[in-house]
Structure 1
């Protein structure tokens, strides 16, 4: 069988739970692979539909699983992020900021508790993208189940992790580089100095984007 990068990367992603370095090694060594049926849409690096913004990263995802309208990722976007345990003022400010930005930009965030979810909710009447730190079929946190369902229908949810991968803590800092790369800039509503949000800030600065 002729080596097929698309099918091989899908297999490696499932085999290694989306681990970037393990997939890289498997591709380099052209490890044996099996043909899998995936119930979700996906695009692999090098394909025409692959999001161009990810090529700016030092470690672009090998594969992107998605639900919804992938074309949204090619539109002008702004990342809006912040603390999970946010203040009431943060909640109000998120909605105020998004209500202005959503007129011209797709709103990108991490579908997490707190600022992320408020940003997505405020943009539901326009366009929003959620980037997961778990499998594309895993709703985390459970409190966002209704939001997840609404975004599946009219917006975009994506992840570099294959179906079934749990939301391990180590995934979220890694996930943040994707949020940074999609947006033309990043808006931080509120966050602690040693939070995951600040990792997203550093990713944006490394990419030369405004925060």
Structure 2
């Protein structure tokens, strides 16, 4: 990949309304990021709106700021882009990393849990992370309060990856400033956000998909029934990764999420040996393959107005599966995907988890 193409790909993903799905579709259709950038205004117009592309000077400033902070880019398609994450649905086309990138190529286990975790759970998470490190596994977590913090502390000497929901120059939570710097110096910090981006609420579910995507399996130590940790576990399971949970007292609300996971089929684990045994049986065939092979995301260069109208008529404010739109419209996947891409670029379509879409 030439430096020019790398720059244009970063500019493409930084453009408004471009997400992982539309990014892949545009590259699949046009072959290069430069051609895709030139086509965006026309495609958006066909989708009933207008769209602009990221300013080249702004992207150049971002690159300069990233380098000044000691960060570097990993673009999807690079040889050192994390292989397991590459297979994750909705994997970020561009990562910014700081630290030892080789850690992401080693066997990784995610440890997540409650921010308001009990003292016993924090001690267990730290001990589990230490044991996994001794067994040559790298521990991945989110640098949040509670379980995440202890997971990083337990694995800082053997290999840890912190995935953050902000720019690499932003510290969150503030009390983890020293820990985040330590992880960057001795482990690896990963984000999909440019420098200066603050940790907004909507960024955390997206961060969780990176945590799940980097790891062979995810261990939930303590979590409430409706928590971000269970989102991470769900994403891991949907990607064909091992989902593990530490059982807790039914009298403690913080253990209910873990107990629910075990009831629903997650592997019960009590120590590092249990975790290594679970991921040792990991079958690569269960993982979705070819996320960046430019297959499975068909687009067409020729869509009739009647076909476009037929797809739009099936859409509404409630999210609908793309497969159902293809079935009900009777149109080819290429045509339906093209109409959805045009609507998205035109600001009229929103994409949801699980391959579902709705009109904005």
Q: What's the TM-score, normalizing by structure 2?
A: 0.54
Q: Tell me how far apart the structure 1 counterparts of residues 195 and 233 of structure 2 sit (CA, whole Å).
A: 28
Which residue in 2 is equivalent to 1:30? 37
Q: Residue 94 of structure 1: CA displacement?
A: 0.8
**Deviation string, structure 1 residues 175-194 (Cα, Å, up to 9, x no partner):** 11111111111111100111
Specify which structure has the higher proportion of helix: 2
1:117 aligns with 2:117: no
Q: Secondary structure at the match of 2:80?
A: coil
Q: Tell me how far apart the structure 2 counterparts of residues 23 and 140 of structure 1 sit (CA, whole Å).
A: 30
Q: Tell me how far apart the structure 2 counterparts of residues 98 and 19 of structure 1 sit (CA, whole Å).
A: 37
Which residue in 1 is equivalent to 2:251? none
**Deviation string, structure 1 residues 54-112 (Cα, Å, up to 9, x no partner):** 22111111101010011100001110110111111111111221121111200100011
After the TM superposition, which residues 58-77 of structure 1 pair with which residues of structure 2 at under 5 Å, given as runs?
A: 58-77=89-108
Q: Tell me how far apart the structure 2 counterparts of residues 147 and 9 of structure 1 sit (CA, whole Å).
A: 32
8 Å Cα contact 2:126/2:152 also seen in 1: no
Which residue in 2 is equivalent to 1:194? 226
After the TM superposition, which residues 165-180 of structure 1 pair with which residues of structure 2 at under 5 Å, given as runs?
A: 165-180=197-212
Larger radius of gyration, structure 1 or 2?
2
Pick 1 or 2: higher relative contact order, CA cutoff 8 A, min separation 6.
Answer: 1
Can you give the 5+ residue segments of structure 2 that lack an aligned partner in the other structure? Answer: 28-35, 39-52, 244-360
Can you give the 5+ residue segments of structure 1 that lack an aligned partner in the other structure? Answer: none
Which residue in 2 is equivalent to 1:108? 140
- The alignment of Structure 1 onto Structure 2 pairs a total of residues equal to 209
After the TM superposition, which residues 13-92 of structure 1 pair with which residues of structure 2 at under 5 Å, given as runs?
A: 13=13, 16=16, 20=19, 24=23, 29-31=36-38, 33-34=55-56, 36=60, 37-38=63-64, 39=67, 40-92=71-123
1:206 aligns with 2:206: no
Q: Secondary structure at the match of 2:177?
A: helix
Q: Tell me how far apart the structure 1 counterparts of residues 22 and 99 of structure 2 sit (CA, whole Å).
A: 25
**Deviation string, structure 1 residues 105-155 (Cα, Å, up to 9, x no partner):** 001000111110110011111110000111122111111000011111111
Q: Tell me how far apart the structure 1 counterparts of residues 22 and 98 of structure 2 sit (CA, whole Å).
A: 22
1:141 aligns with 2:148: no
8 Å Cα contact 2:20/2:91 also seen in 1: no
1:6 aligns with 2:6: yes
What RMSD over aligned residues (CA atoms) do the two structures have, in Å?
A: 2.4
Q: What's the TM-score, normalizing by structure 1?
A: 0.90
8 Å Cα contact 1:13/1:161 also seen in 2: no
Q: Tell me how far apart the structure 1 counterparts of residues 153 and 5 of structure 2 sit (CA, whole Å).
A: 37
Q: Residue 13 of structure 1: CA displacement?
A: 4.8
8 Å Cα contact 2:109/2:217 also seen in 1: yes
Q: Secondary structure at the match of 1:58?
A: coil
CA 1:86/1:19 → structure 2, altered by over 3 Å: closer, same or farther?
farther
Q: Secondary structure at the match of 2:170?
A: coil
